[in-house]
Amino acid sequence: MTAAAVASRRAQARGPFLERNFKYLIVAPAILVLLLVGLFPLIYSAVVSFQGIGMIDQDTSFQGLLNYKALFRDARLWESLAHTLIFTAVALPIELALGLLLAHLFLEKLPGRALFIALLTLPTMISPIVSGATWRLLFDHHFGPINQIIAWFAGHQVPIIWIVNPNTVYPAILICEIWQWTPFMFLILLAALSNVDKSLLEAAELDGAPYRTVFRRIVLPAIWPVMSVALMIRGLELMRLFDIIWALTRGGPGTMTETVSIYTYVQGFEQFEISYTAAIAFLVIILLTAVVMWLLKRMEIAR
């Protein structure tokens, strides 16, 4: 048999193999990347969380649940979790309410509507670190425009030191967060509202039902599937809140605005408490998984 014939027979044999396993071969690269970057490091850090690796001590012996026990006595960790929950609990309803209002405002036809919608989405497209930086410029107590605008209304200069004063730092962060992500809510809700059956709305209007009732009985049930997923996406993102606060306050003043993401970063990359940080990471994973499972069940997002 000539070499060419062997090669051709090999090619024939390879053909059916590729065809037969095609569905696995095209899934493989994605799964391999996810395993390498997702699963493998997770297992490795699970091991690390049972050791005693820190900046000073490179102890790789098995420490049992030592790090996990320490978590429960770490007041700063629980405070950072509380801060995270507060930011989520305040920002999420406001973003939803504002998003709904804006979606109603843009629902009907209006000359220039497409351009207005495009302009309104710009804040969402900006890097969160840049929007944090932008609001830092806006909030500056001396050279920023916000105190100046307040001064016009108040009739005298106001010396609010937004991101340093404990009373104003929360509103400052929330304003930035809400400014950036309300347009995201708005876009999703606008798409959902546009798909609500118009004939039902018109029939209800003819019956003289007030919009309150129409919204509760017809609109809300219709947009609920999309709205619930939007709430979950934003809720999860708020639980990870990092960039905006990093740019505005770095968790300060003191540790007043430290979220669990920022605290984890500080422990891992500034204090180099490697094993302890791995334990925090697993606590967060367990808490978030529990919350997500609960939400998925509650909202009955059927697939």
Partner 1 sequence: MMSRRATTRLGLRYAAVIAVLLVFLFPIYWLFIISFKTPDEIFAFPPVWWPANIQFANYAVLFKDGDVIVVWNSLVIAGCSTVLAMFFGTICAYSLVRFRTGGDDLAIWIISQRMMPPIVIVFPVFLLYVWLGAVDTYWGLILLYTAFNLPYVIWMMRGYIADIPIELEESALVDGCSRWQVLTGVVFPMARAGLFATAVFTFVFAWNDFIFALVLTRTEVLTYPVQVTHYFGGQSNFWAKIAAMSVLGTVPVFVAVAMLQRYLVRGISMGAVKG
> In whole angstroms, what is the distance from residue 183 CA to residue 188 CA?
9
Minimum Å gap between C-beta 26 and partner 1 is 4
Binding to partner 1 (CB under 8 A) within 197-226 occurs at: 225-226
Pick from 201, 231, 227, 198: which is nearest to 215 by CA?
A: 201
Position among 91, 103, 173, 190 found at the interface with partner 1 (CB under 8 A):
190
Minimum Å gap between C-beta 272 and partner 1 is 11
Minimum Å gap between C-beta 244 and partner 1 is 10
Place of tokens 């791995």: 278
Residue among 1 and 122 whose Cβ is closer to partner 1 = 122
Select from 65-73, 88-96, 201-209, 288-296 the region that touches partner 1 (CB under 8 A).
Answer: 288-296
> In whole angstroms, what is the distance from residue 155 CA to residue 178 CA?
27
Place of tokens 């606590």: 283
Binding to partner 1 (CB under 8 A) within 152-181 occurs at: 179
Binding to partner 1 (CB under 8 A) within 239-278 occurs at: 239-240, 242-243, 246-247, 260-261, 264-265, 268-269, 274, 277-278
Pick from 135, 137, 117: which is nearest to 126 by CA?
A: 135
Residue among 18 and 75 whose Cβ is closer to partner 1 = 18
Q: Count CB neighbours of 33 within 10 A.
A: 10
Report if residue 26 touches partner 1, rule: CB under 8 A. yes
8 A C-beta contact, residue 117 and residue 190: yes
Pattern 31-50, partner 1, x by CB under 8 A: x-xx-xxx-xxx-xx--x--
Burial class of residue 73 (count of CB atoms within 10 Å of its CB; 0-12, 13-18, 19+): exposed
- How many chain residues bind partner 1 (CB under 8 A)? 91
8 A C-beta contact, residue 280 and residue 105: no
Pattern 114-143, partner 1, x by CB under 8 A: x-xxxxxxxx-xxxxxxx-xxxxxx---xx
Place of tokens 């998925």: 296
Minimum Å gap between C-beta 214 and partner 1 is 18
Report if residue 145 touches partner 1, rule: CB under 8 A. yes
For residue 53, the cross-strand partners are 58
